[in-house]
Structure 1
Amino acid sequence: MAEELDNMAQKKFRDKLPWTGIFTLLGPSGIWLLLLLVFPTLVIFELSLVPNIRPGDLVNPSGIDNYLRIFEGGNLRVVGRSLFFAFGTTITCLLMGFPVAYWIGQMAPKRWRTLLLLGFILPLWTSSLLRSYAWITILSPTGVLNTVLSFTGISLNLLNTNTAVFIGMAYSYLPYMVLILYASVEKLDKQLLEASADLGAKPSETFWRVTIPQTMPGILAGSLLVFISGLGDFVDPELLGGASSMTMSRLIYNQFLGLSRNWGFGSALSMTLIFAVSISIALLLKYGDRDVAA
């Protein structure tokens, strides 16, 4: 009922607002989006149709050869590795973040919750580049981790491996997952949890049948946000993964600023990445805000 009244009020406001008022409200943001998002994306799309375009060459769209190159063996492996890192980071952050968010939202004293959340936000106050260099210091053969493990006779070579990339990406995006999950966990209906226990449900049954459905919007929103961020991550794979951890973002960089200098193929890769991120955002907008009843 409240939602219907809200929709009616919004419709009444729109009906009364003149077209000049609408353009006045949407004009600044619309111009900003056109100049900095729509036009650059159209330029990239045009370049993606040009084979072997280099700086200063004329732009003559001629086909989709650049997009077909994505499905070649080496390039397809790069796409698969990017998806692997994004999915793996999403699952890792979800498995690590949900217990933390649940404990903060339901079990921690209320007076400490803000301070605990602040502890997760603090790493975001520093540059992602600095955080990656910190992990280089920790994971390098002569770094902090191996220095501590040297007393046990164990030595780990983690730097320039996929494991290091997962560690860096999970560390970078875990705070986002925790914050989004916390917003859902804090709104849990405790009466439903108590009713489930009174009806004889085991804790595991209550978790899967009551807690998970109520927090599903947060799970979807957090997972899609981490997936989108991980799919386009450049810093962590570049600094922590080495040459064997080539991803789409690094491959795009090589086409524009590296030795390859193939702007057409780089633009095609960029459009593919934009398309994948757009699908993820559409899913986030469609399912991320749904309530339990929906």
Structure 2
Amino acid sequence: MTAGDSASGAPFGLTAKRTATTGTDIERTVRPRVRRGLGGWLLIAVPYLWLLTFFLAPFFIVFKISLSEVAVAIPPYLPTFDLAAGWDDFVSGITALSIDNYLWLTEDSLYWKSYVSSIVIAATSTLITLIVGYPMAYGMARAPKAWRPTLLMLVILPFWTSFLIRVYAWIGILKTEGLLNQFLLWVGLIDTPLTILNTNVAVYIGIVYSYLPFLVLPLYATLEKLDESLLEAASDLGSPPWRSFWTITVPLSLPGVIAGCFLVFIPAVGEFVIPDLLGGSDTLMIGKTLWTEFFNNRDWPVSSAVAVLLLLILVVPIVLFQNHQQRATEKGR
């Protein structure tokens, strides 16, 4: 019996048994952790493989085309890589790539004006969508629970119809002899039909209508989980409803607001169908410019450069914002 055993009052055999048991417990504890670790790695690898296959690989193909030169050939750009031609041919193709297409985008004002106009139209449409969608989501979250599934279905209902058909329907509503002008003339609000179709106003209407559910749904999910006891406590302390709304409801709903605004703004920047059908000749958006370069001018390298810059304009701010949010969360902890 050792001195430690004497001090603890435990016999040597019992101490050895405890030691052996502890070693077994450690072994049993470590093995499941290793297995969970491998499962976690596999779980993480699946979305990364998905992004690698369906995002990064096409992106690098488009990026390579943006560094090529336009040619009257199939495909309409040079150089093209033939792996069977050998390493020397591959190296010569790499050296033939250039950034001339990106320099061309900076020299022609059409492209940067298209980028600026697209961002302005998308930002304005997102703001209008937020102004319209926040009361809708707030009303749905405060409605009786028996009504919420019905209200949610009404928000999702437009998705049951083709996006193209819904945009075409707005042509019949907004044109000079359309339903909107006929109604306004009938009630006596106007004397002559309004010119709404083929203007930026029609583009705003189309974007807000088409992407409104993308803002309402995440915002409704956030507002529905709001702890109502906070509002009750504020009311007990003498806070009026409007102050409780601005100091409690709005800050707690910001995650849903941010998610919904991203879901509206990102596709709206590259929108093509809505400005093409509802906008006029003065409506300048990068989606229309990209379509013209790719299909009408058959300039694949320039259109690829336009697409790469558009992707960078959208992705870089989102990544920076996510990093900022993550750092703020870590500091809060």
Name the TM-score class by shorter chain: 0.7 to 0.9
Query: Retained in 1: the 8 A contact 2:122–2:268?
Result: yes
Tell me the residue number matched to 2:298.
261
Unmatched 5+ residue regions in structure 2? 1-29, 80-92
Question: TM-score, normalized by length of structure 2?
Answer: 0.75
What residue is the counterpart of 2:260 in the other structure?
A: 222
Change (3 A) 1:53 1:113: farther
Match of 2:226 in 1: 188
Give 1:103's aligned residue: 139
Contact 2:77 2:300 in 1 (8 A): no
Counterpart in the other structure of 2:4: none
Q: CA RMSD in A?
A: 2.8
Match of 1:7 in 2: none
Whether the 8 Å contact between 2:275 and 2:283 is mirrored in structure 1 is: yes
Does 1:146 pair with 2:181? yes
Cα–Cα, structure 1 residues 206 and 52, in superposed 2: closer, same or farther, change >3 Å? same
Provide Cα deviations, 1:85-138, integer angstroms capped at 9, x if missing partner.
1101110111111111111102x1110111011101010121111111000110
- DSSP 3-state at the match of 1:156: coil
Equivalent of residue 63 in structure 2, options 34, 37, 45 = 45
* SS of aligned partner of 1:40: helix
Alignment of 1:134-173 (within 5 A): 134-151=169-186, 152=188, 153-173=191-211
Aligned CA distance change for structure 1 residues 18 and 193 (closer, same or farther; 3 Å): closer
Q: For residues 192 and 46 of structure 1, what CA distance do their matches in structure 2 show?
A: 55
Change in 2 beyond 3 A, CA 1:195/1:69 = farther
Instruction: Classify 1:184/1:30 alpha carbon distance in 2 versus 1 (closer, same or farther; 3 Å).
Output: closer
Whether 2:185 is the aligned partner of 1:129: answer no
2:155 pairs, out of 120, 132, 135, with 120
1:221–1:284 CA contact under 8 A, matched in 2: no
- Per the alignment, residue 21 of structure 2 pairs with none
How big is each residue's C-alpha offset from its partner over 1:208-251, in whole Å with a ceiling of 9 and x where there is no partner?
A: 21111111111111111111121121111111002211211111
Match of 1:209 in 2: 247
Residue of structure 2 equivalent to 1:5: none
Return the offset for 1:196: 1.8
Worse overlay, 30-39 or 68-77: 30-39
Please identify the structure whose Cα radius of gyration is greater: 2
Q: Which residue is equivalent to 1:89?
A: 125
| Partner Cα distance (1:136, 1:228) in 2 | 24
C-alpha distance after superposition, 1:229-288 (max 9, x if no partner)? 211211111110022112111111111111x22212111110111122323553675549
Structure-2 change in CA distance of 1:12 and 1:47 (3 Å):
farther
In structure 1, C-alpha distance between the alignment counterparts of 2:166 and 2:101, rounded to whole Å: 35
Counterpart amino acid of residue 96 in structure 1: V
| Residue pair 2:69, 2:78 contacting (<8 A) in 1 also | no
Aligned to 1:244: 282
- 1:57–1:229 Cα change, 3 Å: closer
Q: TM-score, normalised by structure 1?
A: 0.85
Segment drifting more, 226-235 vs 22-31: 22-31
8 Å CA contact 2:70–2:77 kept in 1: the answer is no
Distance 1:14 1:57, change over 3 A: farther
Do the aligned partners of 1:102 and 1:185 also contact (CA within 8 Å) in 2? yes
Cα distance in 2 between the residues matched to 1:57 and 1:121: 43
CA contact (8 A) 1:176 1:226 kept: yes
The offset of 1:189, in angstroms, is 1.5
Deviation at 1:193, TM superposition (A): 1.1
Q: How many residues align?
A: 280
Residue 314 of structure 2 is matched in structure 1 by: 277
Look up the equivalent residue of 2:198 and give its one-letter code.
N
| 2:87 match | none
Q: Which range moves more in the overlay, 21-30 or 217-226?
A: 21-30
Maintained 8 Å contact 2:65/2:304:
yes
Alpha-carbon displacement from aligned partner over 1:140-178 (angstroms, at most 9, x marks no partner)? 112111222232224111000000000000000111111
Bigger mean CA offset, 46-55 vs 203-212: 46-55
